Structure 1
Amino acid sequence: MKSPLACILVLWALGVIFCISVRPLMPVDETRYLSVAWEMWIHNNWLVPHLNGAPYAHKPPMLFWLINVSWAVFGVNEFSARMIAPIFGALNLVMVSVLAGKLWPEKTDARVLAPLFLVGSSYFAGYGTLTYFDMLQSFFALLGWYGVQTASQGRVRWGWALVGIAIGLGILSKGPVILLYILPAALLAPLWQKRDQKNTAALDTLASISPVDQQDGEDARDDRQMTHRRWKGWYLGLVVSVLLGAVIALCWAVPAGIYGGEEYRNAIFWGQTAGRMVDSFAHVEPFYYYLVALPLMLLPWLLWGGLWRGIIGFRWRAGLDDGLRMVLLIIVVLMIAFSLISGKRVHYILPVLPLISLLLARVISASNALGVMARRIDLVPIAVFVILIGLVAIIAPFLPLYFAKAPVWLATLNGWWGLVLVVAGAVLIVAGPMRGVVYRIAIVNLLLVVTVCMIAAPRLNIDYDMRPLAEYLKTQQDEGRDIAYWGKYHAQFQFLGRLQRPIQMLISHDEMLDWAKNHPDGEIIARRDRPLDAQERPLAGFDYKNDRLLIWDIQTVLENAAGVLAR
């Protein structure tokens, strides 16, 4: 294979297109983010993002800007907006290859293997099809690490400039958490740049030999002072890069804070920084959460026997170079740091996957993975894993017919796509020579992700397709009716319906009645678990998860309220 990376990028693009073509935008996150971009578009306000008419301070604007750029080029459409995150997924694959070349320029295999290990992670490949911020964040983390390495290898100004750009754009992508990814590599540089430490120790020893060779001792002290000055310059460069990143971020944040008002200003300057650390209790998980999640994120690689033989056989003492030390150090620091934060979500440690891919690429390249590591028996666990998923998919739709307790929704799965996985698992073992085994596993993993999307697509479209309701609301707004949502509204309908006006969110029953009295021609959306005690049928109903969203006219709402009071 002349260009494995180019082939993987093509396969990545095809897989992403398949996945986003067959499944709907997933509420509440994907629909919410595209709704923010939509309101930015219709109001032509690129400074302060809005959601359902109110300033939206929970996320910085980079993703919304990029979506609007795509719409400026291709017109407002769902496809180009949903391709932004996958494009950054592809850039992650390119960047991890470039960083491998920077870390180990003499290890050409590592540069080839690193993106294969990354795209061969089921979590990375699956998550990369979603419209989230983490692919952008991961890319800028990689760019920052590349800048640190560039600075350490002598191109100081260019390296720190890249670090500053990565910090600034990373803040605009997902907030100051980018500092937690990038800074450890720079701050702890004396721990992974061991060559300088060894040289300094040797100089100290030489300087202590006196008075046999006083001149050599003086030269040693001069060299030691140069080393100390180098580290002072190193940390000065780091400070400058952080300031550069802050300036880039503040170019947006300061005018946005002024324009958005005091509440929005406090939210972006406090809520996006210390507030997220102090108040990160929304997704509280135990300390060991990531220790359990990370192995699952690395499937199917952990099932490959060749990987374990390569790790065990690697000469760690001799092979622990500066690049490998840096990668290991960042992985450990990030895992500890995120484990100490109470709020945990799996995608918070997504940038750890490129680091692990670099680690595995370095280890396996040293073990001659394309030759010695290519034993057919090593692929059996992965093949069994893929085949079992395929068999489960084939069997699952039939379970409700024979088992009363089986969930009815299983019958909606497109289980026959499981045959693809059964065939892929068999081919993984028996087809052709075993050269390019890592490449083969990566392709099977991409096929696994695409096939799972095809299997789940019918059910996802039943449970999560908000388009029919959004289009209904569009017609009602065009006719001049006001719309309210009884309950927590996440702007699921704003983009899908191309709505021009906000939908009022009503939390309490009294608030709902007050709104109804003031909007006699309006309509109210309510979940079925908040039913009105009325004999009349709702104006419309739409499936949502295991529930339904019902549309009530105001007259029915008020008559129901009067009947309740009369009783």
Structure 2
Amino acid sequence: MTLNNRSGAKTASFGVILILWVLIAVVGVSARPLLPVDETRYLSVAWEMWVHHNWLVPHLNGEPYAHKPPLLFWLINASWAVFGVNDFTARLIAPLFAGLNLIMVAVLAKRIWPDKTTIAHVAPMFLVGGTYYAGYGTLTYFDMLQCFFALLGWYGVFVARDGAAKKGWIIAGIAIGLGVLAKGPVILLYVLPAAVFAPLWHKSWSGLSVGGQKAARAGGGSKTASSSGPVTNNALGMDRGGNTFTGRGAYKRWYAGMGLSVLLGAVIALLWAVPAAVFGGDVYRNAIFWGQTAGRMVDSFAHVEPFYYYLVALPAMLLPWMFWGGLWRSVIGFGWRKDLDAGLRFCLLVAVFLLVAFSLISGKRVHYILPVLPLVSLIFARVIADLPTRRIDQVPLAVFVIILGVAGLAAPFLPGFFDKIPAWVGTLDGWWGAFLLAAGIALVLLQARRVATVGVIAGVNLLLVAMVFMIAAPRLQTDYNMRPMAVYLKSQQQAGHDVAYWGKYHAQFQFLGRLEKPIPVLLAADEVRDWVDAHPNGEIIARRDNPITGSKQPLARFDYKNDHLVIWDAGTVKSDPEGVLAR
């Protein structure tokens, strides 16, 4: 189906946007290597699951890995079972869910606003039209899975609201259970507010205590009159217009259904967690049942940021929409007092709740609030769809894209003109910036209406993300490609050389080298001495950011970021441990 504005100008359809997303996902996965330390770590966990056939307890470098549940690792192993062990199909799992999220946003929009079909077409374009979502969606992380199950849970809540209580709460329960298996109990923080705060966002619940109960008493306590249609015995005790209740029983049925959906989700999660806890041991059991849930929520041990972190991060996540004047004129001109329907209240309430809740948690990372983006996209789509279309000005957005294009074209030449520009900037493949420059000029010339322009901007954004990947590809392949070193380590292990790592090791080499033996981690000087004594033919990996001088030279050296990873033989380390292992 093609979206048309009233003047007949055509924009990219939802189907075309999905096809573009597939192309961007393929470009993103192909252009860059697996990025350390997170992507390499997660593929290594999946690899050890594959090698050792241990589907219950994930392992990393030979130790139980309790930081994340197993669903992503199961899906990666499923792809390997079909296509063989490779990194390409494994890395398409997260982009696949990013695409499914676009479909899920459209499905949710149709459920919330069945009479406003434009919202279902536009909301996914707002979502994928965000540079952060499109860029992050190509990375092998857990958040795209979590976002999908949050959307599925919200959909279940609306199905229950519309009268199919059993079906709706089953959907919500499945979403909760699989969400726990995707990233842990944090899924409850995404899904439950939609159900708990239903009296606040639904247009009739706020009047229940005054109108609903009085009407119930007047009608014998079981049914009420309705101006919208006949009374039905659905989950909320409302008619199909959502305007009538059967009394306090509506609350009881609603929250009882919510409780049963949480119970169903818990059962699904425990089907894995209980046997995993039995076979994983005491430390693993404590980690999955406490350390990675309440412990992380109360006093996170990593990524501590100030309270206002997400207030700063969210506008950046909404680029390039922040530069589109037509959107903000629509937001300002929208009739918020008379047109603030249940769907808008739902999106606003849940989004604000999530921002406040995650701001209160000490550990913060931008992708923790990724599920807020679909809610914002629904809000933008609702505002755009409800206003009369008119000509708009894309100049601020066009200038933003043009600046990026010019910067890309100029990047390879900057180090030669400015001494303070890092040398690595010159390694960027800046000629791809010409495509961005052309896209920016096209936006200047564009004369379309609001709804139509959303699809065009979404397409330009996907082009922007693809070009950034291509521009950065040479640098990423030089400084973040762990494969050459991983292959070297595999050859050393096959030749009978034991290998250890000096410092904190994140298993960057386990999957890329297809290593089947763990790499011991040495964190103290006495551990180094003991290890080289026990492994005289062994080798030690160390990170080095200062020049290597003197006669002692490493066995091998590999680029990593702005310095190197070097490999020393045990004899050299034993003769001068402080010298050769110094950063």
The Cα shift of 1:447 comes to: 0.5
Amino acid aligned to 2:513: G
Among 265, 268, 274, the alignment partner of 1:254 is: 274
The Cα shift of 1:196 comes to: 3.8
Answering whether residue 171 of structure 2 is matched by residue 171 of structure 1, we say no
Name 2:265's counterpart in structure 1: 245
Name 2:61's counterpart in structure 1: 52
Worse-matched range after superposition: 253-262 or 308-317: 308-317
Say if 1:405 and 1:232 are closer, same or farther in 2 by CA, change over 3 A.
same
**SS of alignment partner, residue 246 of structure 2:** helix
Name 2:229's counterpart in structure 1: none
Among 155, 178, 190, the alignment partner of 2:164 is: 155
CA contact (8 A) 2:106 2:123 kept: yes
The Cα shift of 1:445 comes to: 0.4
Say if 1:188 and 1:270 are closer, same or farther in 2 by CA, change over 3 A.
same
Say if 1:225 and 1:408 are closer, same or farther in 2 by CA, change over 3 A.
closer
**SS of alignment partner, residue 394 of structure 2:** helix
Q: Give, in whole Å, the separation in 2 of the partners of 1:402 and 1:563.
A: 37
Name 2:407's counterpart in structure 1: 392
CA contact (8 A) 2:406 2:434 kept: yes
Name 1:407's counterpart in structure 2: 422
Amino acid aligned to 2:531: W
Name 2:85's counterpart in structure 1: 76
Worse-matched range after superposition: 338-347 or 422-431: 422-431
Per the normalisation by structure 2, the TM-score is: 0.91
Q: Give, in whole Å, the separation in 2 of the partners of 1:148 and 1:552.
A: 58
Percent identity, aligned pairs only?
Answer: 63
Q: Give, in whole Å, the separation in 1 of the partners of 2:75 and 2:562.
A: 34
**SS of alignment partner, residue 337 of structure 2:** helix
Q: Give, in whole Å, the separation in 1 of the partners of 2:274 and 2:549.
A: 50
Amino acid aligned to 1:165: I
Among 298, 316, 338, the alignment partner of 1:296 is: 316
The Cα shift of 1:261 comes to: 0.6
The Cα shift of 1:559 comes to: 2.4
**SS of alignment partner, residue 317 of structure 1:** coil
Q: Give, in whole Å, the separation in 2 of the partners of 1:433 and 1:322.
A: 30
Amino acid aligned to 2:412: P
Name 1:190's counterpart in structure 2: 199
Name 1:267's counterpart in structure 2: 287
Amino acid aligned to 2:329: R
Name 1:541's counterpart in structure 2: 557
Name 2:333's counterpart in structure 1: 313
The Cα shift of 1:282 comes to: 1.1
Amino acid aligned to 1:417: W
The one-character-per-residue Cα deviations of 1:343-364 (angstroms, maximum 9, x if unpaired) are 1110000000000001111111
Where does the alignment leave 5 or more consecutive residues of structure 2 unmatched?
Answer: 4-12, 225-243
Q: Give, in whole Å, the separation in 1 of the partners of 2:514 and 2:213.
A: 70
Q: Give, in whole Å, the separation in 1 of the partners of 2:292 and 2:107.
A: 31
The Cα shift of 1:521 comes to: 1.5
Name 2:361's counterpart in structure 1: 341
CA contact (8 A) 1:122 1:298 kept: yes
Name 1:211's counterpart in structure 2: none
Amino acid aligned to 2:417: Y
Q: Give, in whole Å, the separation in 1 of the partners of 2:301 and 2:567.
A: 34
Amino acid aligned to 1:2: T
Name 2:494's counterpart in structure 1: 478
Equivalences for residues 62-141 of structure 1 within 5 A? 62-141=71-150
Say if 1:353 and 1:225 are closer, same or farther in 2 by CA, change over 3 A.
closer
Among 413, 416, 434, the alignment partner of 1:419 is: 434
Name 2:231's counterpart in structure 1: none
The Cα shift of 1:466 comes to: 0.5
Amino acid aligned to 1:176: P
Say if 1:282 and 1:562 are closer, same or farther in 2 by CA, change over 3 A.
closer
Amino acid aligned to 1:438: V
Name 2:218's counterpart in structure 1: 217
Answering whether residue 35 of structure 2 is matched by residue 26 of structure 1, we say yes
Q: Give, in whole Å, the separation in 1 of the partners of 2:325 and 2:462.
A: 20
Amino acid aligned to 1:114: A
CA contact (8 A) 2:222 2:247 kept: no
Worse-matched range after superposition: 3-12 or 101-110: 3-12
The Cα shift of 1:186 comes to: 0.4
Worse-matched range after superposition: 401-410 or 144-153: 401-410
CA contact (8 A) 2:179 2:187 kept: yes
Amino acid aligned to 2:254: W
The Cα shift of 1:530 comes to: 8.5
**SS of alignment partner, residue 542 of structure 1:** strand
Answering whether residue 479 of structure 2 is matched by residue 463 of structure 1, we say yes
Amino acid aligned to 2:345: R
The Cα shift of 1:563 comes to: 10
Amino acid aligned to 1:401: G
Say if 1:310 and 1:163 are closer, same or farther in 2 by CA, change over 3 A.
same
Say if 1:83 and 1:225 are closer, same or farther in 2 by CA, change over 3 A.
closer
Name 2:233's counterpart in structure 1: none
Say if 1:453 and 1:60 are closer, same or farther in 2 by CA, change over 3 A.
same
Q: How many residues matched?
A: 551
Among 272, 277, 288, the alignment partner of 2:297 is: 277
Name 1:40's counterpart in structure 2: 49
Q: Give, in whole Å, the separation in 1 of the partners of 2:317 and 2:60.
A: 32
Worse-matched range after superposition: 197-206 or 382-391: 197-206
Q: Give, in whole Å, the separation in 1 of the partners of 2:515 and 2:41.
A: 13
Among 350, 356, 361, the alignment partner of 2:381 is: 361
The Cα shift of 1:446 comes to: 0.4
Amino acid aligned to 1:541: R
Amino acid aligned to 2:327: L
Answering whether residue 461 of structure 2 is matched by residue 438 of structure 1, we say no
Amino acid aligned to 1:235: Y
**SS of alignment partner, residue 550 of structure 1:** strand
**SS of alignment partner, residue 541 of structure 2:** strand
Among 525, 529, 535, the alignment partner of 1:513 is: 529
The Cα shift of 1:219 comes to: 3.5
CA contact (8 A) 2:221 2:246 kept: no
Say if 1:432 and 1:322 are closer, same or farther in 2 by CA, change over 3 A.
closer
Where does the alignment leave 5 or more consecutive residues of structure 1 unmatched?
Answer: 208-215
Name 2:2's counterpart in structure 1: 2
CA contact (8 A) 2:126 2:380 kept: yes
Q: Give, in whole Å, the separation in 1 of the partners of 2:44 and 2:346.
A: 40
Q: Give, in whole Å, the separation in 1 of the partners of 2:430 and 2:207.
A: 60
Q: Give, in whole Å, the separation in 2 of the partners of 1:123 and 1:562.
A: 43
Per the normalisation by structure 1, the TM-score is: 0.94
